[in-house]
Structure 1
Amino acid sequence: MSKMSVIARMGGKHELIQEIVSIIDDCKDNYCINTYAELCGGGARMLLNLPEGEFRHRIYNEINRGIYNIFKTLTDYHLTCEFLEKVEALGYSREVFEQAKELINFDEKTSRQTGKYVLSDMDSAVYTYILSTQSRAANMQTYNQSREWGNQFVRLSKLLRIQEILEGVEMYNEDCLLLLQKFKKESKMLIYLDPPYLPSTMQSPKTYGEDSWTLEKHKKLVKQLIDTQAKVILSGYDDGKTYTVLEQNGWTKLFLKRMKLRSSCQKTLKNEYVWVNFEISSYVKENITIKNYEEW
């Protein structure tokens, strides 16, 4: 399966695309779903790899302004061309990376102090893209020198195909909990949620920087999910407590794969699960179980 990608993100689901997309397809067919929403958008791993034309209406949401601006830009052909020109002109180097980090940090600091941004939406997209693609393990903090000799032209040219896929996607730059409240009565909508991992399951509770979630926010998420009429797939690690409330309210927990932590220098492994509030066809569950049993 060819996997489409714009940027890597900490906790991204690159290795789980096939499993999760198969659950999305199954839900769409069984429940006549017409709208798909990725509300913790990040790198839009599932949205970019859905079968073409599968959903009449698609939604992408991302709270991080820079990442949102990347994907917002890629919904428009002319803006995409401008974006590609700017990124290609800047190139790949430590100097460019440090400049991007300084500008993004200044932009975020100014926003917190004044409520206004310094960078334009386009510059925000360009410098955030540089931080993501030129950093180690997509941490947007540490320069990755090993990729200096990679073919940046090939990577950038693939974004034109991404632009075609993202054409017509409805874009939001909101807290996902606000959108969950907005969409809670949409029974023909399927929502995929891939929030920052539970703090207790991570090596550092601030792994995602300013985008990290507290335990309290995860509990708020669970409370809202119990009441939603939309179909939901929630990705994450299991701390044995927080998401158990969903299972007690009829949700199904499904093991997907044992994964190496992308941010870990050591061979730290974690079990990836999804929680769903709908019935998954038995053959889909069996295919996922058999495939990952063989890999393990």
Structure 2
Amino acid sequence: MTTVGVRLARPVALSGKGQRRAEATVGGLLALPAAIFFCVFWLLPFLSALYLSFTRYDLTGMPQWIGLGNYARMLEDPGFWNSAQVTVIYTIGSVIPSILLALAIAVPLARPGRLNSVLRGLIMIPAVMPLVATSVVWRIIYADGGPANAVLGAVGLGPVSWLTDERMAVWALVLMVTWKHLGLFVIILTAGLQGLSPSVFEAAALDGAGPVRTFWSITLPLLRRTLLFVLVIAVVGSMQAFIPAFLLTGGGPAGATEVLPYYMWATAFSFERMGYASAMAMVLLAVLIVASLVQFRFLRGGGDE
């Protein structure tokens, strides 16, 4: 019998430069799907909207270049300024209570315990519900004979026209959004609190620091980056809110809940002024960038350790 020997091929050794080139090629190929997704679904729409913001476009003909005409029009548009004011009220009214309530709930929930684990799971239920379904449920709650007015009637208060009263409609949206986002903020802050080093708090206790002093002087400074993250996503989310106003009030009554994204949508698809709506979208983007930079400026530094 003849023994056939099989020689295994030795791997070809690459030089340092060749190895780096190969790694860069593999990395580029792995990143290619994400790059294509980014270009198709973000970069191209952004560039298209940026171009349309300098044109007059009614969705039927060809865009007509008008330069800064759309941006100048915003300065004289009462509808735009009303929607900007409503957006600011909606953002401040929903962000500040949400974060304060989330922080107040997260501090006790961050402690270990089986009950706290169950509560953390339950409080996430509103956050995982689709926003459309949440809006439909709260529309039922706000109905004239709904649970909200039933509770008010039980304590001797008269019924409230939650969605048709100009003074109450925007606060009805704020209440719903606060309930919707509270669980997510609680979980994020709880994770941040659980990541803090116990040795810092033990040292504070040995120095005689009480709970209030410990919270203000140690917990909050160490939680600064987590608070920054929550604040940024809360502000960006609130300033882009569309579904609650669309499904609950339709921007009414009398524009009381016509937040800027809703006004942009109505301008683009109801009045067919796509160029003007694109200009408002660019302004909103610029405001979001500035707001995020301001938040980073005042809250950066320190960190969760």
Shared fold, TM over 0.5: no
Higher fraction of strand: 1
Q: TM-score, normalised on structure 2?
A: 0.28
* TM-score, length basis structure 1: 0.28
Q: Which has the larger radius of gyration?
A: 2
